[in-house]
Structure 1
Amino acid sequence: MANEFLQLEGEIIKVIKTIFDPEIPVNIYDLGLIYEIDVNDEGKARVVMTLTSPNCPVAESLPEEVHEKVAAIDGITSVDLNLTFDPPWTKDMLSEEALLELGLL
Structure 2
Amino acid sequence: METEIDMAELGEKIVAVIKTIYDPEIPVDIYELGLIYDVFVNEDMEVKVLMTLTTPNCPVAESLPMEVEDKIKSMKMIKDAEVEITFDPPWSQELMSEEAKLELGML
Normalising by the smaller structure, the TM-score range is: over 0.9
Return 5+ residue gaps in structure 2 as ranges: none
For the residue of structure 1 that corresponds to 2:106, the secondary structure is: coil
In structure 2, distance between residues paired with 1:80 and 1:19: 16
For the residue of structure 1 that corresponds to 2:27, the secondary structure is: coil
- What fraction of aligned residue pairs are identical, expressed as a percent? 53
For the residue of structure 2 that corresponds to 1:76, the secondary structure is: coil
Superposed CA offset, 1:33-91 (max 9, x none)? 00001111110111000000001000000000000001111211111211111100000
1:51 is aligned to 53
After the TM superposition, which parts of structure 1 deviate over 3 Å for at least 4 consecutive aligned residues?
none
1:18 is aligned to 20
Aligned residues: 105
1:37 is aligned to 39
1:69 is aligned to 71
Contact 1:5 1:40 in 2 (8 A): no
2:99 is aligned to 97
Return 5+ residue gaps in structure 1 as ranges: none
Name the Cα RMSD after superposition. Answer: 0.7
Contact 1:30 1:97 in 2 (8 A): yes
TM-score (norm 2): 0.95
